[in-house]
Structures are given as C-alpha cells and as structure tokens.
Structure 1
Amino acid sequence: MIPKNLLVELFVEELPPKALKKLGDEFARLLAAGLKAQGLATDASVVTPFASPRRLAAHVTAVAPQAADKAVSQKLMPVSVGLTAAGEATPALLKKLASVGADASAVATLKRQMDGKAEALFLDSMVTGATLIEGLQKALDEALAKLPIPKVMQYQLADGWTSVNFVRPAHGLVALHGDTVVPVTALGLTAGRATHGHRFEATTDPIELRDADRYAAPLAEQGAVIASFDARRAEIARQLQAAAARQGLTPIDDAALLDEVTALVERPNVLVCKFEQEFLAVPQECLILTMKANQKYFPLLDAAGKLTNQFLIVSNIRPVDPSRVIEGNERVVRPRLADAKFFFDQDRKKSLESRVAGLGKVVYHGKLGTQGERTERVRVIAKAIGAQLGGAELAALADRAALLAKTDLVTDMVGEFPELQGTMGGYYARHGGEPEAVAIAIEDHYRPRFAGDALPRNDAGLAVALADKLETLVGLFGIGQLPTGDKDPFALRRHALGVIRMLVERDLPLRLDDLVATAARAMGPLLTDAAAPAQLLDFVYDRLAGSLREQGYSAQEVDAVLSLRPARLADVSARLAAVRAFAALPEAASLAAANKRVGNILKKVDGTVAARVDAALLHEPAEAALNDALALATPRADAAFERGDYAASLQALAALRTPVDAFFDGVMVNADDAALRANRLGLLATLHAAMNRVADLSKLAT
C-alpha cells in the first residue's frame, strides 16, 4: 500500500475575518492529528494549511490508503472471575468473549498477567487497520467538531428540513488521495474534486482538481485566488511596501490589520487613494484610527512619522481601470474623517476643567462610585507620590494632571473612539493652555497598557499612572473583586505589572508598602476589607516573582530575595545579581546550609530570640571565635548594604564559613544551663540577622 498525498477542502460562504487564520490552522492540525492517531499518517507527514475568505483546506503528505494491522492485548477480567477452580471458563468469561467477537475456542489462548495485586485474563488479537475512507471520515468529523468557531450558525440544507451547525454555510467538499476522490461526507456534502475560485474574476468555474498536489496553482491561475493565508499576507505586505515606496512614504505598521485584511480578500490589489489636506488639522491618531478600524485602510506616513493625506486600500478585484475603485473608497472615507473633524472642533469649545463636573455622572463601579469620586482619590495618591519624587512643585503638577486625566471620557471624540482616551486629553490640555508637563502626564497616565508598552515620559506622568493603577488595585481588592484562575475582568494582573515596571525600570525611591498604604487611606470607608492591603502586597510580589522567572532567574534566586519582601522594588535586580554572585563562591553552599539550620533552630524556640550576646558567657572557644568573626564581618556587610552594594555585602559574609562550621561542630546550643542556652541562641539570632539582610540565604540550600 503506497502512501499518497491527501487534500481536503471545505468551500464555504465568507468566513469571519478575525477568526480565519486560527480556523485554517486548526482545521489542518486537527485533521492531520486524527489521521496520525489512526496510523494513516506519521509524524513525518507534512501538513500545509490553506485559508481564504471562502475556504478551509489542508494538504497532508504521505497518507496511507489503509493503516497497518495492530496487535492489541485486551484485559477481560480477573482470573478468579473468569475461570473456575478447575480452570474452566465461567459464563461471565464466555459472555465477555462474545462481546469482543471471540468464542469459547479462545479460552485456551488467553494469557494470565498480574494486574495490580490480582491476576487477570488478557486476550491478544490483531486489529485490522482503518481504511482511508473510514479514517478520514472520523478525522474530518472530529476536526469539524473541535474547530474554535467564535459563533456557530445554523442553516438548512437543500432538502428544507435538515439543519446544520457550522461557522458559515458550506457549499462544497473536496477530498483527494493522490488523484482519487475519497467519498467522505460532511455538513450534508459528499466529497468530489470540484472547487470554485474568485466570485468575479475566476476564468474557470468550477475548477476540477486533478490531484491532491495541484491545488494552489490551479486556484491562482484559473480561480484568481491565493489560497494560502501566509502567501496572501506576504503578497499584500509586498504590494503595500511597493505602493508606498512609489510615493516616497511608509505604510503604517499594524500586524493585526494586515491579518484582518488578508482574511477579507482572495486576490489582493493595493491602490493609492487620497483625502483632503484640511483633515490633517485633526490629530493624526484620530484619522489613523478611523481609517484602520472602520475602513481597513493603511494610512501612509512621511519620513518623520507624520500622517499624510494619502492612504492605501487592498481591493479584492483587479480592474483594468482602477479609478472607479479609488474614487469609491475616497468617497467613503470622507464622511468618516469629517465626523472626526467635527468631534475635534466641538470638543475644543469646552475646557477640560469645565468637564470635571461631568465625571460625577459617569459610574466607575457600583461599589466604588463615579469617575468624579475616583478622580479625587487618584489626586490624593498622585500628590503624595509627586511630593516624594519632586517636592511641592511636582506634587502640584501631578495633582493638576490627575484632576484632568479622565475628563476626555466625556468628550465626543473619546465617546466615538474609546481607544483614544488619554491621547485626546493631552491634545485638549494643550489647546486649553495647560503646562506641557501636565499634557504629557494626561497622555501617559494609562501607561504601560500592555507588556512591552512604553512607560510615562515624565515624573508627573509616573505619579499619576502609579496613582491610577494603585487606586484600581486597592479599590477592587478592597471590595473583594480579586482575579480568580484565568478570569481577570478588571485586568488587575496587568495593573500590578505596570506598577512593578514603573518602580523597577525608573529606579524610583518609593516603598511598595507605603504606596499601598497611601492608596488604602485614600479609599477611606470604601475599603471594606481590612485584609485587602496585605492581600494586594502578596498579589504584587507573586506577579514580580513570575516576571523575574520569565527573565531567566531561578526559582531559588527569586525566592531568596522576595521572601524578605524588599519594599523598594528597584533594589530587587541588584539583590538578585548579588545572590547569583554569592552562590558562585566556594563558601556559599556551607553558609546556606548553616543559615537554614540556624533558622530551624530559632523557629523551635518559644517566643522571640533577641539578637544579643553577653561576651562573658562565651565559654567555648568556637562560640567566642564566631562572635569575634561576626564583630569583624557584620560592620563591613552592613556598610556595603547601606550604600546599595549588595554583592559586597554578601561577599563580606564569606569569612564566616570557618567559624560557623566550627561552632556547629563544637558547641551544644541547647545547653542545660539556661543562661548559656539563651546566650547561644542570641548569638545564632545575631548571625541569622547578619546573613539575611540582602536575601534569605537558606533558600539557596539544596
């Protein structure tokens, strides 16, 4: 049985563009996985997905016409149930054999094997391999059932009675194994070799496919369709760059838009269009957004990154004279740009400050009040942060920016385009004569919005952004709205990571616990859960730990540093580097083990052990030597710690290895004499405190 290549295609009505790429990839993956599971394809088989607006297809190499027969061993029942004391088959065994297609003659061939603690009977047999028709039918049914369809559509077949559920109505099914049709069925269709090309520009319809390997080429030549999603995307990108280069411009870089347009066209044709220069008076973010979101156009930028009045469209047809297509798209975009200009002009008739009162009518959260009330809380937090970062002047700028930061929510432009909140606030602040620092802070106060996003550009922006995220975190934790599992409707994980990034990457001299406490005070009586601040701190440190592990730090290193809960997150990277350097020292393993031992000893003591030593009670030479070594090493370690040289601080402790080892070899900590015992515990508490300022070194012990 010679393997041949397999092609399966579903021809459907226009598929949802945002889901097309995933649908195409999953259809091919699931189909191939089903074939492999039945032994019809192997891991060496190459799977190629195809997806266009009206088709999902998969090409799988080296698919066998029938799977190889397979030896199987089937457990029947325990020996005690299947055989009598004389070794004869019981009625239960005979009934079981009949159910699997065997008779009493098979009793003699049964094997006895231990199954857990009891001996069981097993039947060895050969299972005939699945034929391609059977296997492909099963694989196709399973693939269609498991497709990640965003919204299922129900439609009737031609008989007028039968209903089918699928993403869109299907009108054709192709299944070719080499040049042979595999007569499988799906969605009320029976497979053949005919497919269809472009609605308007195909030169042949239907297109008869000769074999599984002649698919993309006939569709392109006779059907005017680029069947491969990736090939079509690359062609659109090439045409966009070429058309822009002819104008001396650059198309906007937007991978999501490129994906969506790729899912909308079968025969891409990029054309250059224009709009009136007067619209460029509107902020370019507004124009770019309306062209991308509403029209799926690609705005063109000049060398300085500024928007021009030219844009690119991706047409699905290639007329000899494209002027009508260009004129139509220019006509369609004009009202959209006019709306944006109208919103911008109307919004500028009112100052941002005059809109503050309107925030009192916008509900923020049922338990946390309005955006107006929230603004007052953010102001309190932002002022406190501003005062810490830059004194009264920065506090005043942060307060002003916090007062105006949310006012663009009640403008017409943001009402139409919520994605522009913050951005429009900056434009309107400048128009109203606000200081540039305030305008920038308003623009930036949502940053960072996502992983990799830029941080606020100035200190006022940092103060307001921190305040905004902290108010959200403390407020929602305070009313019990914590993330659960993969559900995080208020994006609190993203807010926490934003706080972490600002504190760490800008090396801010702010304590996390102080920031949370400031936000908690600003919430006032709305903070109904007194445990919320502590829960929030746990949550932030958990997010920080995950982020650090993703950056390549080991779980041991992260645990050693974060178990001490360093309040200044900007120090964490330096502490981690110091721990890594310390771990490479020859003394590290011994000291880490000793530190763990000391910690365990101190945990077993009732009450708190004071880190205090009476030199007169140091009777053993080893305990006196350890005390002397601590007296020398601790000041050096502490001095390095205070100046932020954490590596030097830990390295100063390396001198303690020998006296620590000698202490545990020669000194009985739990002496009968209570005074001696208390003094030795005090010495260990002193050692423990000295060793664990930078990190909990016991976490490095293996």
Structure 2
Amino acid sequence: MSTTKNLLVELFVEELPPKALKKLGEAFAEGIAKGLRSAGLATDRSAATPYASPRRLAVHVSAVAAQAADKAVSTKLMPVTVGLAADGSPTPALLKKLAALGADASVVPALQRRPDGKAEALFLDSTAQGVTLAEGLQKALDDALAALPIPKVMQYQLGDGWSSVHFVRPAHGLVALHGAEVVPVKALGLVAGRTTRGHRFEAQVDPVVLQDADHYARQLEEQGAVIASFAARRSEIQRQLRHAGESLGLAPIDDDALLDEVTALVERPNVLLAQFEPEFLAVPQECLILTMKANQKYFPLLDANGRLTHRFLVVSNIRPADASRVVGGNERVVRPRLADAKFFFDQDRKRPLAARIDGLGKVVYHAKLGSMGERVMRVREIAREIGCLLGGPALAASADQAAHLAKADLLTDMVGEFPELQGIMGGYYARHDGESEEIAFAIEDHYKPRFAGDALPRNPTGLAVALADKLETLAGLFGIGQVPTGDKDPFALRRHALGLIRMLIERQLPLELPHLVAAAFKAFGPQHGQAQAELGYFLRERLVGWLREAGYHAQEVEAVVEVHPARWAEIPKRLDAVRAFRALPESASLAAANKRVGNILKKSEEKVAPVAEAALLHEPAERALHAALAEVAPRSEAAFERGDYTGSLQQLAVLKAPVDAFFDSVLVNAEDPRLRANRLGLLAQLHAAMNRVADLSRLAA
C-alpha cells in the first residue's frame, strides 16, 4: 500500500432537519469509512471521526492510502476437457472466454489446472491493479449518500437550470482533502475543492480555505466560528447549561432528546438566562415545561426539589456583545405560549371530568372495537375484577371510579394541544373536582409505565387501572387479529406487555395471569375473537426476553417458564431456586435423568397416571426409588406450598442415588404389561415431584 495520509470529506448544505442530524452525521461518516475499507484504501485501524452541524456533514478518516495495493486474482475459466483439445491446443470456447477477459491465445501456456469438484478446471491467474483514491472515494461517496437515512427527500435544480437533484437539502459545497491535496470527486452536481463556509453571521473569514485534512475542525472554530463536531458542540452546551444553572443554585431540566435537537440547531452555542412572570407558575409545571421544550426548545430551570422556577435557559446561535435584545426577544416569544397554557388550564377547570365522559362515546377508538366510551366501560369491568382480587370491594370501587374518569381528560383543551399530558392533566383536574389523592394519582399513573425504565403506578388503585388498561388493549387488538409482526407494532403492544410484566413482578402482585387474560376477553363479550392462547404465548415470549435482559440465564428462564406458573410475581423466586439447584453436585445427573424420564413418558402409548402399586415393585432398585420418593416428595411439596422454592428443589438432591440405580438395573418396558405400567407410573410420580418449581430437563446439557 502507498504512503497514507488523513482524509477529510465535507458536504456543505442548507439547514438539515434537526431531529435527523445526529443519525445523518454518523451514517455519512460510517458510509465513507466503510467504502474506503472495502476498496482497500483504509484498514480497520483507520479511525473515522464524524462531524455534523446544521449546515454540514463531514468525516475525518485517518491513514488513507493514495492507491490500494494490487491484488492477485484467480479467474475460473472452464473445465479442462472443454477448454483444451486432445493435443493440448485451446478450443474455440476457451479462446472466446479469454477474449472476453481481454486476453488471447498467448496466455494459454500459463493457465493453471486446479481441482474443481470432481473434475479439473482451467484458471487464469493475474494481478489486478489497486484502485486510486479518486476512484475508491467516488464510489464510497456515492454509496454513502445513497444509503443516508433521509427522513424526507426534496428535489431541487442545479445551477445549469436543467438538471435536478434529489437530496435531504440543497447542497452548495464539497470538500475532499487527502492531506493537503484535493481529491477530484463529484457529488450532487458539485466538484470537490478545499473551501467551506463558516457561521452565517460571525465567521472571521468567508469562505474558509482549508489548509489540510487535519486542520478542519480547528480552522472552522477559529476562522468560521463553528464547532463542527456534534459531540463537542453537545458537550459545550451541557457545560454552559450546567454553569448557568449553578450560578443561581438551580438545575436545567435533564432531557437528552432536547439536548440533541438543540445541538442540531446551533453552530456556535451561547446559553443565555431569561425569565417569565412568576404568576404563570400557578399552571401545572408539566404544561409549562412541555410548551417551553416542545415549542421553543428552551431549558426550564428547576429548584432543589425539582419544582419549576420562573427562569429558563435559551441556547442562542450568536454571541453578541450585548445579549439583552436576544434575551428580551425570547421572553416576548414565550409569554403568549405560557398564556395559552394558562387559558387552557382555566377553561378546562370550568367543567368537571365527569361531565366530559358522555362525550367519549362520540370518539372512535377503533373501527372494530367501538368508541372510547365503550373502551372505558371495558376497562372499568377489568379494573373492578383486579381491584377485588387485590383488595376486596373497597379497592374494586376505587379502581372503578378511577377507570371511569381516566380517559375524560382526552376531551380537554390542554390535552388537545399537548397529547403528551394525557393522564397527567386528568390527575390535576380530578383534584380540582374534589376527588381523593388515591383517585388522582391513579388517573395520572394509569398509562405507566410508558417506556422502559419508567416509574410504575404509585398506589393499588393505579396498579389496578393500569393493568386493566393494558389488558383491554392487548385483548382487544389480539381479538381482531392486530398482532405485532416482525418490526411492525403500530399499537405498541410489546410495550403494553412489558408494562404488564413489570407491574406483576416488580410489585409482587398475587394475581394469576390466565385469570387476568380471561377477564380481559370476557369484558368484550362472547362475540369477540378467541385469541386467548395466542395472547398468552405472546406475553410469555415477552416475559422470556425481559428476564434474559434482567440477567437471568437462558436455561434457567426456559426451565421456569416451561411449567407455566400462573403467578408471575413468583418467577424471580423460582429462578433463584433453580440457580441454587444448579450449584448442587447432584443437579446435572438429576436434570439428565429428568429429561430421560420425560422422553420415556412421551413415548408411552397410553396416558400414564403418577401412581405405582407397592405390590408390583419387584426389583430392589425400584423399591428403593419408591421409598425415597415417599419420603422426599411430601417434604418437597410442603416447601413448595410455603413458597420455599429453593428448599423444595434442594430436597430432591437425595434422589440422585436411587434414580441412577433405577436406570442402571430396572427395565422400564418390561414384557409384563402390569409391571411396565407400574414402572411408568413410578416414573410419572418422579417426574411430577421434580417439576413443580421448574422443568429441570431444560437444565440438561
């Protein structure tokens, strides 16, 4: 390979979509680097550093060659019997093939004969010249641009007035520098050079003439007033936000998505402190925070208790000597937004939640599942059932009331403007209507957990309604065949399933899943689709994945889930018990024996009852196993009933010796049908005793 230098490629464009910028920058950099590696111009050790600002995508790749190394190429031509005549001269078919490859009869003596399957074939060995950087980079650039995850393509005309280009935004400049030398590549109607543009208003030099690939970031920052690196710009914004907050004893709201979006909106970040009138703080802080984040991209400041203050931070793209006009402008802009939120809040409180419930009957939930009002009735029915199981009639009544009001805030002005506040506003309005904190929290929490890692409902009423809401969604959509397939899950049923799993297990709820699924389908009536088994399987699949992510061993998870425990709250205890059992020296032998017993019972032509008559036990080994089971099984069963799953499994350790002896000396499939049936019954007893906590055969190697 020739001497290497570092490479810089930049595409200068109009303002890119901020929510897509980070991915576009990473994809552009990886696409270029991947193309160079595949052309042999870069190696796996070549580091690719991405750059992405509102008006540029770029990458710096280290150790890139001017030309790839030559490669030995072996081309298979045809079988020897086809290519050479009996006297060794080339056949017309071989000459035609060689001509197609740019060769002639003069290379025939140099052709190689090598085995190819059962026959021998002719091969032409040659050396392919390595591609130049201009050739390899051109292909890498074309491929990288074609593969960009562009959210929406636009079409624009080039300067000639005739040609048009499809890209995410109009492109105005292309840079390609190998060291200090320009690489002559083209893209989007542009020819590569060494000049780029800096900040629209604050660049010291325009255009910026790049010295070489390695001075790109420094020149842009010093001459162009642009921090080109997305990561560096994000870090600088974080630093300024933290410093501005600390100076007041406050903290900016922690929001990675907002930080990414703001990083994609500015080239030269400058954090400024602004404020609004304190009287707006009478509006729920969630409303104010959301309007400031979503509409204005501001960072609200919170006090030590997490309460919103009347101060906020603005990330400006300019650094004027006097920032008062910038601050004043942002304060004027935010005021109408906050006034709208206050107006919505005041108007909504003029009507109680209960007065809005009838209107839900006019809101379509799903064409095949009726209105939102009908959905509320189903959720209420399921919530009453769960409430009764968790806390009797009092909790059932509380859950019913919370479920009755839970969806009413969908018809409020505030939720109409900010759908993200559904549930949250219901809680505020319920308190205003005089409902208890229990009911208000339940309304607020019934959508939880909304995402991975989200908090669970705070009280039993909230748990009952949240479970009912998710169960109704799952049963309803499974019943009409709206099942997630592959990556498609338009109704977020996987998220609903994981929320259900987390509540059952993390809150240790004494509820049986089959009963919950049956109650959910019952709420739809007999005309609803019968997909209970399918939903049960779907939930078990999600359970297995969740447990694996939680760090449990795959075999242990399979062993526990295979016995279909009704109460999922017990599953972690069962898994701990299985882990303790696997640590016993007898576990491997017992697991293998359990698998063997299961296979024997499966092959039996008749259903085997777990019963063995003592009078038909002739062999000493089968009598010993029967006696050991009679002693161990009751102790194991008693521990199981107490919920001592570890103790239940560890009781089984003493069965290793009698089980091994049984299989060493007893013929299960005896000729006497009565003996055979009795021995199968004894094995069925053993199988039942061993597999209460988990299917131990799943632990066999």
TM-score when normalising by structure 2: 0.99
CA distance in 1, matches of 2:643, 2:122: 71
CA distance in 2, matches of 1:607, 1:197: 83
Tell me the equivalent position of 1:578. 577
- Does 552-561 or 539-548 show the bigger shift? 552-561
CA distance in 1, matches of 2:278, 2:551: 50
Offset from partner CA, 1:304-345 (integer Å, 9 cap, x none):
111011111011111111111111111111111111011100
For structure 1, the 5+ residue unaligned runs are none
CA drift at 1:114: 2.4
Tell me the equivalent position of 1:596. 595
CA drift at 1:677: 1.5
Tell me the equivalent position of 1:284. 285
CA drift at 1:581: 1.3
CA distance in 1, matches of 2:658, 2:201: 88
Q: Is the 8 A contact 1:15 1:167 kept in 2?
A: yes
Offset from partner CA, 1:512-539 (integer Å, 9 cap, x none):
00000111111113522x2x01111101
CA drift at 1:589: 1.4
Tell me the equivalent position of 2:115. 114
CA drift at 1:2: 2.0
CA drift at 1:547: 1.3
Q: Is the 8 A contact 1:368 1:526 kept in 2?
A: no
Tell me the equivalent position of 1:80. 81
Tell me the equivalent position of 2:547. 548
Q: Counterpart of 1:62 in 2: which secondary structure?
A: strand
Tell me the equivalent position of 1:249. 250
Tell me the equivalent position of 1:301. 302
CA drift at 1:203: 1.6
Question: For residue 551 of structure 1, what is the amino acid of its counterpart?
Answer: A
CA distance in 2, matches of 1:334, 1:186: 45
CA distance in 1, matches of 2:548, 2:121: 48
Question: For residue 42 of structure 2, what is the amino acid of its counterpart?
Answer: A
CA distance in 2, matches of 1:579, 1:60: 51
CA drift at 1:664: 1.4
CA distance in 1, matches of 2:623, 2:314: 83
CA distance in 2, matches of 1:119, 1:345: 89
CA distance in 2, matches of 1:549, 1:9: 43
CA distance in 2, matches of 1:95, 1:149: 46
Q: Is the 8 A contact 1:71 1:127 kept in 2?
A: yes
| Residue 692 of structure 2 corresponds to residue 693 of structure 1 | yes
Tell me the equivalent position of 2:566. 567
Tell me the equivalent position of 2:318. 317
Residues 453-532 of structure 1 aligned to structure 2 (within 5 Å): 453-528=454-529, 530=530, 532=531
CA distance in 2, matches of 1:355, 1:210: 67
Tell me the equivalent position of 1:404. 405
Q: Counterpart of 1:95 in 2: which secondary structure?
A: helix
Question: For residue 198 of structure 1, what is the amino acid of its counterpart?
Answer: H
CA drift at 1:178: 1.1
| Deviant stretches of 4+, over 6 Å | none
CA distance in 1, matches of 2:394, 2:689: 40
Tell me the equivalent position of 2:37. 36
CA distance in 1, matches of 2:672, 2:369: 60
Tell me the equivalent position of 1:650. 649
Q: Counterpart of 2:356 in 1: which secondary structure?
A: helix
Offset from partner CA, 1:231-254 (integer Å, 9 cap, x none):
111111111111112222110000
CA drift at 1:442: 0.3
Offset from partner CA, 1:39-98 (integer Å, 9 cap, x none):
111112111111110111111111111111111112222333322333332222212212
Q: Is the 8 A contact 1:475 1:526 kept in 2?
A: no
| Residue 593 of structure 2 corresponds to residue 623 of structure 1 | no
CA distance in 2, matches of 1:554, 1:91: 64
Q: Counterpart of 1:155 in 2: which secondary structure?
A: strand
- Alignment RMSD: 1.1
CA drift at 1:10: 0.7
Offset from partner CA, 1:616-671 (integer Å, 9 cap, x none):
11111111111100000001100110111111111111111111111112212122
CA 1:118–1:425: 2 relative to 1, 3 Å: farther
CA drift at 1:684: 0.9
Tell me the equivalent position of 1:415. 416
Tell me the equivalent position of 1:240. 241
Question: For residue 687 of structure 1, what is the amino acid of its counterpart?
Answer: L
Q: Counterpart of 1:525 in 2: which secondary structure?
A: coil
CA distance in 2, matches of 1:167, 1:38: 27
| Residue 359 of structure 2 corresponds to residue 358 of structure 1 | yes
Offset from partner CA, 1:166-221 (integer Å, 9 cap, x none):
11111111111111111111111111111110111112111111111111111111
Q: Counterpart of 2:523 in 1: which secondary structure?
A: helix
Question: For residue 658 of structure 1, what is the amino acid of its counterpart?
Answer: A
| Residue 145 of structure 2 corresponds to residue 144 of structure 1 | yes
Q: Counterpart of 1:480 in 2: which secondary structure?
A: coil
Give the number of equivalent residue pairs.
700
Offset from partner CA, 1:400-433 (integer Å, 9 cap, x none):
0000000000100000000000000000000000
Question: For residue 518 of structure 1, what is the amino acid of its counterpart?
Answer: A
- Identity rate, percent: 74
Tell me the equivalent position of 1:153. 154
Q: Counterpart of 1:253 in 2: which secondary structure?
A: coil
Question: For residue 603 of structure 1, what is the amino acid of its counterpart?
Answer: K
CA distance in 2, matches of 1:85, 1:511: 82
Tell me the equivalent position of 1:676. 675
CA distance in 1, matches of 2:314, 2:85: 82
Q: Counterpart of 2:524 in 1: which secondary structure?
A: helix
CA distance in 1, matches of 2:640, 2:374: 43
Question: For residue 201 of structure 2, what is the amino acid of its counterpart?
Answer: F
Q: Counterpart of 2:576 in 1: which secondary structure?
A: helix
CA distance in 1, matches of 2:648, 2:574: 10
CA distance in 2, matches of 1:433, 1:87: 103
CA distance in 2, matches of 1:694, 1:262: 53
CA 1:116–1:410: 2 relative to 1, 3 Å: farther
CA drift at 1:118: 3.4
For structure 2, the 5+ residue unaligned runs are none
CA distance in 2, matches of 1:492, 1:121: 59
CA distance in 2, matches of 1:301, 1:435: 27
CA distance in 1, matches of 2:238, 2:411: 38
CA distance in 2, matches of 1:118, 1:694: 60
Question: For residue 92 of structure 1, what is the amino acid of its counterpart?
Answer: A
Q: Counterpart of 2:400 in 1: which secondary structure?
A: helix
CA distance in 2, matches of 1:159, 1:87: 60
Question: For residue 277 of structure 1, what is the amino acid of its counterpart?
Answer: P
CA drift at 1:556: 1.5
CA distance in 1, matches of 2:78, 2:340: 76
Tell me the equivalent position of 1:266. 267
Tell me the equivalent position of 1:194. 195
Offset from partner CA, 1:436-482 (integer Å, 9 cap, x none):
10000000000111111111000000000000000000111111110
Q: Is the 8 A contact 1:137 1:185 kept in 2?
A: yes
Tell me the equivalent position of 1:60. 61
Offset from partner CA, 1:92-149 (integer Å, 9 cap, x none):
2212212222211112212222233333222111111111111111111111111111
CA distance in 2, matches of 1:30, 1:526: 53
CA distance in 2, matches of 1:326, 1:117: 82
CA distance in 2, matches of 1:616, 1:249: 83
Offset from partner CA, 1:673-700 (integer Å, 9 cap, x none):
2222211111111111111101111111
CA distance in 1, matches of 2:431, 2:382: 24
Tell me the equivalent position of 1:27. 28
Question: For residue 562 of structure 1, what is the amino acid of its counterpart?
Answer: V
CA distance in 2, matches of 1:393, 1:546: 36
Q: Is the 8 A contact 1:68 1:128 kept in 2?
A: yes
Q: Is the 8 A contact 1:478 1:526 kept in 2?
A: no
Offset from partner CA, 1:542-591 (integer Å, 9 cap, x none):
11111112222222111111111111101111111111111121111111
Offset from partner CA, 1:8-45 (integer Å, 9 cap, x none):
11111001101111111111111011111111111121
